[in-house]
Chains A and B, each alone.
Chain A
Amino acid sequence: MERKVGRRTAQILASAALVGVLGAAGAAPGQGQKPPAAPAKSAAPVPAKSAHLASWNPDRNAYFGDLHVHTMLSFDAYIFNVRATPDDAYRFARGEAIGHANGMNIRLAGGPLDFTAVTDHSEYMGAMREANDPSRPLHNSPLVQGLFSPDPAAISAAFNKIVGLSQANQMPKDFSAPDVAGRAWKEVQEAAARNNDPGRFTTFVAYEYTSAPDGRNLHRNVIFRTPKVPELPYTALVSSDPENLWKTMDQWRAKGIDVLAIPHNSNGSDGLMFETTRRDGTPMDKAYAELRMRNEPLVEITQIKGTSEVHPSLAPNDEWANFEIMERYIGSNKQVTKFHGSYVREALKDGILMREQKGFNPFKMGFIGSSDTHNAAPGSVEERNYFSKVGRSDGTAAQRGSVPPGGAKTWPAVVPDSNQALAPFQAWGASGLAGVWAEENSREAIFAALRRKETFATSGPRIRVRFFAGYDFPDDLAKRADLVKTAYAKGVPMGGDLRPSAGKAPKFLIWGLRDPNSGYLQRAQIVKGWVENGKAREQVFDVACSDKLALNKTTWRCPDNGAGVNLATCEPDRFKGDVELRTLWTDPTFKPKQRAFYYVRILENPSCRWSTWDALRNGTPPNPTLAKTIMERAWSSPIWYEPTA
């Protein structure tokens, strides 16, 4: 009975937040404005008695954010007709409405985020805006011809033109002139400073390093801890080898500029992101692995352009591996051919194998998700409130292929295969949010959490995940009110290392709490990778089942809880799934000498995919070639078992 009440509350909560979400007519408030008033900045007096912010919690709070956000300062976003500024992006993250390139108003349904970094492409940063400004010298470039059309076909041509010239190293030098980039970089810094509001909302100065040798994606977001940043970003125009970026980051750090980089879209790297040699083909060594891990403790495993956790072909025994898979190059239709080296779970396995055989691990990464919005819309990965991510190119359902072409009411007998479709937007997912466990909502605390990998990723919902491992957890840990304190005292949190075992198998505390604006939880899983006889192996264990279902400890699978969705309304079945999943699990396959990693994956009941919501609103059936439902999920950062210190 209480479940019923709880659901209704959730719906009210959701619909209250949904008011004025999409397509509201009227002018976009403050669209593309110079800084509007940044109101109420630290208005309330911070109590002087403590050095901590009001929200300080020694057991750490979950904060949700987006560390991958583009605005009009990115060359591609500008071409996509996006005119929203970094200030607009921060306003959107704080729950305000901003304008979309299509003219509609957009707003988060799930409420404000806690932190955000605007990460515009450092290559040609701010150049397109200047090229479109008659008062700037860049405006006279012949390249400007047809570059700024509102027509989607012309937009696509313009995008390809710039990417093509850039890859051929033929972009006019004045598009990357230091004064042009400098103006934009200053704006990025000022917007971050203006919108940082300790205790309520955290911003970071950041940018995206956009390296893609032969179109194979090696992009990274570079995030700075404090306002102390280099004069200009280090760009892929200087070097497309990330190793040179990391060396530069080391130099910055020596000057007191603290920074980390987060790679993303390994799925579009065609095996390059996690190749097991250095970029120049020479073998990796310990110094390389340390350089890489010092600068890249995290990886963005899910975003709108697909999820990079695992590919079905790499994990035939993982029934949930086929989640928002995108098998193309980034920004083109070229098919990816190499999945190995493109997915994170495989990289973690390669990493522990290299640690075992060569003594170093270049792939010891924690997880975050982020949107990669090019609409200056952080956190816009909500299935029922989805407008994709590239401005005028995919702002309508028709452009995204989720409704029948030409305004028809039914689908043609032969629907173009989504994987072969001209536009990749159908294969994109409304996915990617970053979660961190930090004592308070401040730059210092959140950056420290990123650094120690106490982070998690979600496919959009604000699912909260806790994960600890230790040898001396009491058996009733999961039932104790002080479990978090005990877990910290006697174990390590996500992102940490388990010290060598003295014979005992480690215990794992797995805990997930649903997002009240999203579905109920169906199962909690442990993904384990380990080294056995010189080979890296993996297994997915269900460890907690919903609905009081009994876990089968032979197959390590929960029985199906039978939860479904009414596709005519997108209403999920009632009374299925749990508010939270919480368990203490001991690894039955643990061997003290076997190097291993463990991470948590929590799955929601099935719910409508964004494309089904689009179809529902359009009054037409969902696209028969697309998945109608998905299982939203969250991933914790791994904990590594290191048998030798």
Chain B
Amino acid sequence: MASISSETSPERGDGAMRIFRRVAREPLVHFLLIGAVLFVGLESFQAMRRPVVRIDAQDLEQLANYWQIQMQRPPNKDELKHIIDDRIDEELMAREALRLGLDKGDMIIRRRLAQKMAFATDDTAQADEPTDAQLKAYYSKTADRYAAASRVSFQQAFFSGDRPNGGAQKAAAQAMERAEEDGRADPAGDPFIFPLAYQDVSVQDLLRDYGAAFVKTVSTAPLGAWAGPVVTPYGFHLVKVTARSAPTQASFESVRPQVRDAYLADRRAEANAAFLKSLHKRYRVIVAGVPDS
């Protein structure tokens, strides 16, 4: 270019030519020129590498499907263009919002992310199948979960609290006296909606239906003899306990599946807690008004 220029203006060219040559030899000019070229080049390169918003075939199909579900027919060409334009605009706004950091401090976004993280960690925290030894150890540690309440069989005579003039307590006491005098005859009381004879009933059920005083009596009364009267919300009762079984413990074998479920649930909870703990280690948590720990 310089040579062409010198050829087209030979008369006036000499002085300018000299200046040009001198300037062209300056290292500073070299530096600036290279810089300018690099700048222009980088600019155009970056323009070519703008972030891409891509709506692929699958997205298009999904968009059209959702539209169809709500409208009960496929979109026409114009509608499809609108749907796609809307989707693009939404994406652009969302990207720009992210770039500007608008997601920061947004409770809904934070919750959603935390939820996604929780789902992700829950999946990875699948524990290995426990061995029998592990399960047995866990079973003995949690044995009380596999115990059943003690059970009792008994007969009862009931004296309704509705008897006039406080007659129930007196009638019950008299019946008790007679029963003590003559061990063979059973005392006769009032009809009762609850059974007058129970076979092998759990004391838990009795606690719910009669209350603590009644349970205490059937749990401690001597076997085979009438005891009472004991008062309940219904009236007065005499009871004759015929059999009592201590609380029973289910064998490991009989509850192995439940032990396994509980063991795995425990492991999962532990894994989740451990993950949170590891997160706590990776961050310093500062809460206003709480000393930094």
Q: Which residues of A contact B (CB under 8 A)?
A: 1-3, 5-7, 9-10, 12-13, 16-17, 33-45, 47, 54-57, 59, 61-62, 110-112, 133-135, 140-142, 170, 172-173, 200, 464, 466, 478-481, 483-484, 511, 513-514, 516, 548, 578-580, 582
Specify which chain A residues have a CB less than 8 angstroms from the CB of B255 in the assembled complex.
39-41, 43
Closest to B72 in A: A170
Closest to B189 in A: A481
> Which B residues are in CB contact (< 8 Å) with A12?
211-212
Which one of B13-21, B94-102, B227-235 contacts A? Answer: B227-235
Interface residues of A: mostly helix, strand, loop or mixed? loop
**Nearest B residue to A7, CB-CB:** B233
Q: Say yes or no for B225: interface residue by CB 8 A criterion.
A: no
Interface check B166, CB cutoff 8 A: yes
Q: Judging by beta carbons under 8 Å apart, are B148 and A40 in contact?
A: yes
Chain B nearest Cβ from A446, distance in angstroms: 16
Q: In the complex, what residues of A have CB within 8 A of residue B147's CB?
A: 40, 43
Partner of B202, one of A13, A16, A200, A513: A200
**8 other contacts beyond A13-B211, A54-B200, A513-B194, with CB at 8 A cut-off?**
A35-B265, A37-B258, A39-B145, A43-B255, A54-B201, A112-B204, A200-B202, A516-B211
8 Å CB contact of B169 from A1, A37, A135:
A1
Residue among B169, B202, B208, B231 making CB contact with A111, cutoff 8 Å? B208
CA distance A480 to B145 in the complex (A): 43
Q: Which residues in B have their C-beta under 8 angstroms from that of A43?
A: 146-148, 248-250, 254-255
A578 to B209, CA, bound (A): 17
B164 at the interface (CB under 8 A from A): yes
A45 to B247, CA, bound (A): 11
- Are A516 and B69 in contact, with the CB atoms below 8 A? no
State whether A62 touches B66 (Cβ < 8 A).
Answer: no
A359 to B274, CA, bound (A): 71
Bound Cα distance A173, B142 (Å): 46
- How close is A266's CB to chain B, nearest CB, in angstroms? 30
CB atoms of B231 and A516 under 8 A apart: no
Residue B168, interface by CB 8 Å: yes
A480 and B191: CB pair below 8 A?
Answer: yes
Chain B residues at the A interface, C-beta cutoff of 8 Å = 62, 66, 69-70, 72, 115-116, 119, 123, 142, 145-148, 151, 160-162, 164, 166, 168-169, 188-196, 199-202, 204, 207-213, 231-236, 245, 248-250, 254-255, 258-259, 261-262, 264-265, 268
A579 contacts B191, C-beta separation under 8 Å = no
The complex places the Cα of A159 from the Cα of B66 at a distance, in Å, of 20
With the chains together, A39 CA to B148 CA distance in Å? 9
Find out whether the CB atom of A579 lies under 8 angstroms from the CB atom of B148: no
Residues of B within 8 A of A39 (CB): 145-146, 255, 258, 262
B211 touches A9 (CB 8 A): yes
Collect the chain A residues with CB atoms within 8 Å of residue B146's CB. 39-40, 43
How far is it, in angstroms, between the C-alpha of A271 and the C-alpha of B91 when the chains are bound? Answer: 50
B53 CB, nearest partner CB in chain A, Å: 18
B145 x A9 contact (CB < 8 A)? no
Give Cα A74 to B194, complex, Å. Answer: 37
A582-B191 CB under 8 A given contacts A10-B233, A35-B265: yes
Q: Point out the residues of chain B lying under 8 angstroms from A134, CB to CB.
A: 115-116, 119
Q: In chain B, what residue has the closest Cβ to A37?
A: B262
Residues of chain B with a CB closer than 8 A to A40's CB? 145-148, 250, 255
Contact B191 A481 (CB under 8 A): yes
- Contact B199 A141, beta carbon cutoff 8 Å: no
Which of A37, A42, A135 has the most chain B CB within a 10 Å cutoff? Answer: A37
Docked-complex contact B161 and A2, CB < 8 angstroms: yes
A141 touches B191 (CB 8 A): no
Contact call B169/A579, Cβ cutoff below 8 A:
no
A20: shortest Cβ distance to chain B, in Å?
16
Residue in A2, A47, A479 whose CB lies within 8 Å of B235: A2
Of B116, B200, B213, B262, most A-chain CB atoms within 10 Å: B200
A34 CB contacts on chain B under 8 angstroms? 261, 264-265, 268
